[in-house]
Structure 1
Amino acid sequence: MTQTVDYYMNNHLIHKNRRLSTSTSEWVRSFSCEDLKPLIVCRGPIRKEAMDVYGEMGITHFGILLSEKDSIVYPNALAPELRQLTDSRRVHRVPDYTGASKEERVERIHQIIRIATDNGYDSIFAGYGFMAEDDEFVAAIENAGLKFIGPCSATQAGAGKKDEAKRTALTVNVSVTPGIDNVTARTLLKKHPTREKLLALAKSDGLACDAKIINDPGISLEDLADHILYASYAKGVDLFSIEELCAQVQAEVAAMFKKYPQSRVRLKAIGGGGGKGQRILGASLLTVKNADDKAIAKAAAEAPTLVREILNEVKANGVGDNKNILVELNIEQTRHNEIQLLGNGEWCIALGGRDCSLQMHEQKLLEVSVTQEGLAAAIAKAKAAGKKSEVKALESDLTVLKRMEEESERFGKAVGLDSASTFECIVDRDRHFFMEVNTRIQVEHRVTELCYSLKFTNPKDKKDFFVVESLVEAMALLAQHKERLPKPERIVRFNASVEARLNATDASLSPHAGGMIRYWSKPIEGEIRDDQGISMLNPDTGLFVKYKVAGAYDSNIALLLTNGEDRLDSYERMSAVIRSTTLRGSDLATNLEFHYGLVNWFLGNNVNAKPTTRFVVPYLTLVGTLKEEANKMDPVYAFLQMKKHYAKRIAEQFPDDPQVAKNMSALLDRKGTLITRPMERLLGDPHLLSGWLSMNTKNFRIDDGKVVWLRNPLGVLNETYEYLHMSFRPHKPAAEIIWGHDNELLQQSLRFSRTLREKFGLARDEYFKLNEFLQNDEPQGGFDADTWEQIRSTHFGYEAGLELLGMLFMIGENTRFWDLRVEEDLEITIPDYLTDPDLQARMKKILVPPPVTKADEIVAACGGMYYAQEAPGMPHFVEEGMHFEKGQPLYIIEVMKMFNKVYAPFSGTVDKILIQGGDGIIVQKGQPLFKVTPDEKFIEVDLNEIEREKRALTTKYLKAVL
């Protein structure tokens, strides 16, 4: 947490003092947490945030846990936290946070508890990490006499397990997604279909069942099976095989396909989180109106493989593990909304919502606040602008939000929520469905903190209160003073906030581990950067300390946040933050440019738009088409051709005065880099181009294939330099900004244009009227003939050549960029072609070409941990001498918490397996894995042909702008 977030009350800034012990109020002082001694066992930005908050609260005895797999312990990558926590006795190390198996996980739990008790800690904080929702871990902590800074084990068991949470939701009248929550019980009943057989099984296996339950004749068979299963988990035995579970899931999936035609089904582990342990199947049935049994069976046949992947991913494939999986209808047009909850076991309060729909592979990317106050303000603004459809859409959102907040509080009280948690929902227009509860603090919790603070008031004296602005602080308070804390009042700080997750991913948002950060610019005013302390400078030298991004756990590097009076304000601030951020390194890839393009896409369309969870992949596909088209453009060649065009035009107009043509050529030469440098930047990064096209949507139109400017291109060029963060700044290297002579020419041009507009009393957007004046041969505005002709000539000279910018609009037109749009009711129209899986796969390769490889090699698609088989004990995907087909799975890479199955890009034979040493070996992107003999020879690219194609398209676009 590089900057402290200050507390706002009635628009007045108050620097919050977290040390309650310094208060003049005895009641407030009684809630001091200075004697709390927590061990922080999480990682990433939340670890640094917890350290900072605890320090500000006056907590002096806290420690942190480091894993040997965490990037912060790699050579030359000193943990940023260790620059702050210099006492080595408070830094503790373990091989891994959770272990790779059930046995290792149990061992790690006991190891962490030993570390806590041996070193004088009285509590454990797991943040939003791997252990935060583990009810066994929490129960072990409680049994050891320690506090858990988070929901207690009873709440974890009742709300953290997705199947139990769904059953609880149904009992308290909370809307849930249609599906099956007890497939393991059904699997057991398939083998032992009667009450007598179930009881015989329990007796033969010596399971410790509750006599009251097993002797109750009124209990259903499925509930009885569930009870016996939980007894088997306690003993550590399996009552059915994974193969039998897979077969049952397959049957349930087939039944779901029949019940809900043209739908997909989502399989979801009851544990996990952050997108782990989820798979969707049934894509082949989406467009089939009346699927027959054969088509349904084929689609359902995917289930066994996906079940194994899920169990492997959440490490629930060991003997005695709870292997239950939810089988749910996948709501296609969904928005992912969540409600922040806080409780003490007796009261529960909702703190507004967050829209997390902008995600990919179940991983959130951009999160936006959704509050009653923010929506009310947006409704008032839309009403004032006469936008009836937008008003109706926003009012619907407000109604749904109020329902979700009310249901979440009811659910929280039902499970005895005694800390921070998140109530997650699927929103489908004016309906919502409860999805799950994350019994932990969320990565995006600060989106809520920027909108609300908590005011705790003495029940006996309303003037006696204290304000908490941090959920991490609130969790510590609850751990220390749970029952005594009165229900707080939520106080509005800002109407809107937004968070961008800066991740180690490439331009296609695929994980990119292994890079080194060597420089990170300072935060700008208003930027809130949770970066694990990476951008802290060396206190002795003032230099940046390089940081290794290994990616053994997740892709997140930092969280970038902004706030505002409304969503537009917060988005504009986020755009400024990303624009001003410079991040450099070696073998480093992040999604910073993606975020810049995405934020500006919404700024150019409508920030109140309602994207669904399906938005990002089609958007990325569209960005890929921009890159494919931009790759065929040559701005320097275009500029040279434009010079020839002007030379011919001038020669025809002034056949007897060659000096005029010479002067025009010299003028255009002065503009060469002024125009082509920003164009090359935009053409070189499709994410930047996407944002630029979105922001300039209203600055042009195309008539009969010709670009017509609706705004002065000089102003657009100037804003383009600002958009690219290339405006003139004397302290910056010339390579990063507009060159001095170009800036001088641009500013001269802008001053002339502004003076001319003011002379005619024209507004900035009345470029058409100005051109109409200048088309007149007769002097206008009271100028004499000579001055008038000089004005026209100067205007022509300043604007000559700027037509080239219009070629960028032609790229947008040719790729149908504006077909992806926001409608008046805030719904987003996604053209069908952008949902084509083949196009999506091809554009992914356009955005990030596969690693350079030899014709006889297959190399690692990305960095991470290599696995040769689907699950322990199963056969390897390929063996030496084996023939493989295109699309056949070759290996799995575990990176950023996710298991990514990699498929063969072509067919061939494996000659030699180059990676040795078993599963879990860390590989680097591009590292050779197999020596192969392809079935077909690779055709080398003809560079001359590519050049001819580029010039042909460039010439075609030139005709549209000249």
Structure 2
Amino acid sequence: MFETLLIANRGEIARRVMRTAKRMGIRTVAVYSEADAEAPHVKEADAAVLLGPAPSSESYLRADKILEAARQIGADAIHPGYGFLSENAEFAQACTDAGIKFVGPSPDSIRAMGLKDRAKKLMEDAGVPVTPGYHGDNQDPEHLKNAADAIGYPVLIKAVAGGGGKGMRKVEASTDFLDLLDSCKREAKSSFGNDEVLIEKFIENPRHIEVQVFGDSRGRVIHLFERDCSLQRRHQKVIEEAPAPGMTPNVRAAMCSAAVQAAKAVNYEGAGTVEFIVDGSGALREDGFFFMEMNTRLQVEHPVTELVTGLDLVELQLRVAAGGSVPEQDEIRLKGHAIEARLYAEDPSNGFLPSIGRLDILDLPRGIDGVRVDSGVEQGGEVSMHYDPMIAKIIAFGANRDAAIERSLAALAATRVYPVKTNGGFLGNCLRDDDFQAARLSTGLIAEKAETLIPAGAPKRDAALAARAFLERDQVANSNDPWALKDGFRANADTKIRIRLEYEGDTLDVALSAAPVKGRTLSARLGEDTFILDGMATSGRIVTEAESVIVFSDGRASRFSLPRPDAAADGADAGGLVKAPMPGKVLSLNVAEGDTVTKGQKLLVLEAMKMEHALAAPRDGVIASVSIAAGDQVGEGDALVTMAEEDEAAA
């Protein structure tokens, strides 16, 4: 076994690999950027080496610096985690050339599966079913458009070197193809350094089911059953589970056999995932799945497989890399059900824009029976603009799917994050959704039900709890006038909530947005966790600040403050000013001073946290001024585009 293992990654996966390595008695070495100097993965390692400045291109993507760190520290193996250099054949080869074991497949296997177009051809030759499409070398836009026209819409444009939901665009009509192709190629070039794409027929009502495979140096390949990753937003996985709902023994045998066949076709060694697009229009069928791609690394969602098989996949990776064998296939047993929810620093009510900053409150659901939390940050740390916005993976295990869902919801309810915004409330809505609970799954479920799944703002009950907290607090300060201000709340700095309160004993009557909410608050003392409203119990936590109350409930954090007399003019010019919602780089600018635009028209594209974000016109009007140019770096809140006042535009 290895003596010293360098983990060429950061955050949650670096800590995950270290946990197993330490248990196995292996010395661990972290690498880090200047932005991560105080990160948990650095503190927990036995040794740590600085790579360079915060941008990943100057630190975590610098293979030369990582190899030099490994030489200096005396590492005999490198674990790449996922992302960054984990699927980089040149890095794997450089490790081999340096006499350092790369914990993963061979460079040849990575190359074979690294480009989706070549992988499709390889799978066709190996007899693995593939999705109809164009996988050729001709990248001329008109040629690609003609290929898409011939395949028939809708189609999916995919970067051949892509992954993680990036470099993908669904095209509904021929007239949209070239614009979406341009956007897809630009994102692919930025993310992977390769803007080549392939075209696939988009399968209606698709499900995404993948099979975990493992190979060893003796040529043996086994599978560890399947995972369902159908719940996605913009091709980014949101909730994953194992086993796949509705899976039958015959379909499982066919799909897992195809996955093993795919891995053997490239002499695969180590952990890998073979992903299939599945026809979800009815019951799963043996002829209803198609090879999509193979990820030649450990997956983000690997914990659900660990929970249903009882195996430590990182330990198995290390043992195989050290020359060991995979278990016998008939030794692998499937037990129970596991669900993973990805908690991201993003704001669902604002187009899922990333949220960055200091984590003043970070209370993750550790210590709950059947719940596992993998996280790369701690309270007091920061979510950086430079890296992936994941805060934690919340994984729940139960005897069956219903039990796993129930535990997932309990874990989210116990999750508290502030002031960074998260998708916690959105995840809870997904888990409670009728279609999800009934296992009527598809990759389009979230998009189809966005209005009900994506929170529009703070729920009424959170406002009621905040009101109760204000009353309780003000009673102490002014027993003669517990509620002097009666003209409403201001929530999340943008949304104004008009509220009427009547307080007597333990009864709270609230009129909120003309909809009455009446309930008896039996336990609403500050800091307690259980409240009764409308006769129903809800869990939550109230934290008071100088002029506001924060209500944590079901994974949400809603901030309420009393109106300020001097705040009447707040937001008066908001309709004509487009500001940067986060720090980032201006990728493209689509308008100039004097242009006439319509509401919703794309003004510019901002790149932040590895994703593109299009900013649109807030209303019809004329562009009065443009404060930035393509290529500029901007800070959160910077003025980017100003629209003329409506009377000026009319003149």
TM range (shorter): 0.7 to 0.9
Cα pair 1:281 1:302 within 8 Å, conserved: no
- How do 1:179-578 residues align onto structure 2 when only pairs under 5 Å count? 179-182=133-136, 184=137, 186-187=138-139, 245-257=140-152, 263-282=153-172, 285=173, 296=174, 298-316=175-193, 323-345=195-217, 346-370=219-243, 394=246, 397-429=248-280, 430=285, 431-453=288-310, 469-482=311-324, 487=328, 489-492=330-333, 494-508=335-349, 510-521=352-363, 523-526=366-369, 527-534=371-378, 545-578=379-412
- Residue 290 of structure 2: SS of its match in structure 1? strand
CA RMSD of aligned residues (A): 3.8
Out of 578, 581, 589, the residue aligned to residue 858 of structure 1 is 578
Question: In structure 1, what is the equivalent of residue 490 of structure 2?
Answer: none
AA at the equivalent of 1:83: K
Q: Distance in 2 between matches of 1:511 and 1:625?
A: 14
Deviations, residues 312-338 of structure 1 (Å, cap 9, x unaligned): 34343xxxx5x4311110112101111
Out of 603, 623, 637, the residue aligned to residue 890 of structure 1 is 603
- Residue 162 of structure 2: SS of its match in structure 1? coil
Q: Distance in 2 between matches of 1:678 and 1:470?
A: 50
Deviations, residues 29-77 of structure 1 (Å, cap 9, x unaligned): xxxx2x33222111221111111111111011x2112234x5x35xxxx
- Deviation, 1:935, is 5.3
Q: Describe the shift of the 1:670–1:122 C-alpha distance in structure 2 as closer, same or farther (beyond 3 A).
A: same
- Deviation, 1:436, is 0.5
Out of 423, 434, 445, the residue aligned to residue 615 of structure 1 is 445
Q: Distance in 1 between matches of 2:633 and 2:87?
A: 27
- Deviation, 1:254, is 2.3
- Deviation, 1:361, is 1.1
Q: Distance in 2 between matches of 1:682 and 1:160?
A: 57
AA at the equivalent of 2:186: E
- Residue 451 of structure 1: SS of its match in structure 2? helix
Q: Distance in 1 between matches of 2:513 and 2:507?
A: 11
Q: Describe the shift of the 1:852–1:120 C-alpha distance in structure 2 as closer, same or farther (beyond 3 A).
A: farther
Q: Distance in 1 between matches of 2:514 and 2:615?
A: 34
Question: In structure 1, what is the equivalent of residue 30 of structure 2?
Answer: 64
- Residue 365 of structure 1: SS of its match in structure 2? strand
Q: Describe the shift of the 1:313–1:450 C-alpha distance in structure 2 as closer, same or farther (beyond 3 A).
A: same
Out of 419, 424, 429, the residue aligned to residue 592 of structure 1 is 424
- Residue 450 of structure 1: SS of its match in structure 2? helix
Q: Distance in 2 between matches of 1:856 and 1:595?
A: 33
Correspondence 1:83 to 2:39 = no
- TM-score w.r.t. structure 2 length? 0.78
- Residue 117 of structure 1: SS of its match in structure 2? helix
Q: Describe the shift of the 1:51–1:852 C-alpha distance in structure 2 as closer, same or farther (beyond 3 A).
A: farther
Q: Distance in 1 between matches of 2:119 and 2:48?
A: 37
Cα pair 1:865 1:894 within 8 Å, conserved: yes
Q: Which has the higher contact order (CA 8 A, sep 6+)?
A: 1
- Residue 170 of structure 1: SS of its match in structure 2? helix
Q: Unaligned stretches of 5+ in structure 1?
A: 1-32, 188-244, 258-262, 286-295, 376-393, 454-468, 535-544, 638-666, 685-713, 728-733, 739-849, 870-875, 940-962
Q: Distance in 2 between matches of 1:851 and 1:348?
A: 61
Q: Distance in 2 between matches of 1:682 and 1:923?
A: 41
Question: In structure 2, what is the equivalent of residue 921 of structure 1?
Answer: 633
Cα pair 1:63 1:92 within 8 Å, conserved: no
Larger deviation: 903-912 or 415-424?
A: 903-912
Cα pair 1:246 1:307 within 8 Å, conserved: no
- Deviation, 1:158, is 1.1
Question: In structure 1, what is the equivalent of residue 69 of structure 2?
Answer: 115
Which is higher, the Rg of structure 1 or of structure 2? 1
AA at the equivalent of 1:929: L
- Deviation, 1:670, is 4.2
Cα pair 2:231 2:237 within 8 Å, conserved: yes
Q: Distance in 2 between matches of 1:568 and 1:155?
A: 39
Q: Describe the shift of the 1:548–1:405 C-alpha distance in structure 2 as closer, same or farther (beyond 3 A).
A: same
- Deviation, 1:505, is 1.4
Q: Distance in 2 between matches of 1:96 and 1:550?
A: 9
Q: Distance in 1 between matches of 2:44 and 2:231?
A: 34
Cα pair 2:157 2:197 within 8 Å, conserved: yes
- Deviation, 1:409, is 0.7
- Deviation, 1:856, is 4.1
Which protein has the bigger strand share? 2
Cα pair 1:275 1:361 within 8 Å, conserved: yes
Cα pair 1:335 1:610 within 8 Å, conserved: no
AA at the equivalent of 2:294: V
Out of 26, 41, 49, the residue aligned to residue 16 of structure 2 is 49
- Deviation, 1:865, is 1.6
Q: Distance in 2 between matches of 1:592 and 1:492?
A: 32
Q: Distance in 2 between matches of 1:624 and 1:364?
A: 16
Cα pair 1:519 1:546 within 8 Å, conserved: yes
Question: In structure 2, what is the equivalent of residue 130 of structure 1?
Answer: 84
Deviations, residues 705-735 of structure 1 (Å, cap 9, x unaligned): xxxxxxxxx99945x22x33479xxxxxx99
Q: Describe the shift of the 1:681–1:434 C-alpha distance in structure 2 as closer, same or farther (beyond 3 A).
A: farther
Q: Distance in 2 between matches of 1:404 and 1:859?
A: 48
- Deviation, 1:504, is 0.8
Q: Describe the shift of the 1:524–1:887 C-alpha distance in structure 2 as closer, same or farther (beyond 3 A).
A: same
- Residue 360 of structure 2: SS of its match in structure 1? strand
Q: Distance in 2 between matches of 1:681 and 1:63?
A: 57
AA at the equivalent of 2:342: R
Q: Distance in 1 between matches of 2:515 and 2:6?
A: 47
Q: Distance in 1 between matches of 2:318 and 2:189?
A: 34
Q: Distance in 1 between matches of 2:511 and 2:259?
A: 53
Q: Distance in 1 between matches of 2:51 and 2:582?
A: 24
Q: Distance in 1 between matches of 2:552 and 2:199?
A: 54
AA at the equivalent of 1:516: R
Cα pair 1:496 1:565 within 8 Å, conserved: yes
Q: Distance in 2 between matches of 1:682 and 1:611?
A: 35
AA at the equivalent of 2:30: I
- Deviation, 1:417, is 1.0
Q: Distance in 2 between matches of 1:635 and 1:64?
A: 44
- TM-score w.r.t. structure 1 length? 0.54
Q: Distance in 2 between matches of 1:427 and 1:134?
A: 28
Which protein has the bigger helix share? 1
Cα pair 2:51 2:65 within 8 Å, conserved: no
Q: Distance in 1 between matches of 2:292 and 2:571?
A: 38
Identity of aligned residues (%): 27
- Residue 277 of structure 1: SS of its match in structure 2? strand
- Deviation, 1:300, is 3.6
Q: Distance in 1 between matches of 2:459 and 2:312?
A: 47
- Deviation, 1:474, is 1.2
AA at the equivalent of 2:25: G
AA at the equivalent of 2:16: E
Q: Describe the shift of the 1:420–1:883 C-alpha distance in structure 2 as closer, same or farther (beyond 3 A).
A: same
Q: Distance in 2 between matches of 1:683 and 1:929?
A: 41
Q: Describe the shift of the 1:635–1:475 C-alpha distance in structure 2 as closer, same or farther (beyond 3 A).
A: closer
Q: Describe the shift of the 1:308–1:853 C-alpha distance in structure 2 as closer, same or farther (beyond 3 A).
A: farther
Q: Distance in 1 between matches of 2:213 and 2:261?
A: 11
Q: Unaligned stretches of 5+ in structure 2?
A: 468-501, 519-530, 543-548, 554-569
Deviations, residues 207-226 of structure 1 (Å, cap 9, x unaligned): xxxxxxxxxxxxxxxxxxxx
Cα pair 1:424 1:435 within 8 Å, conserved: yes
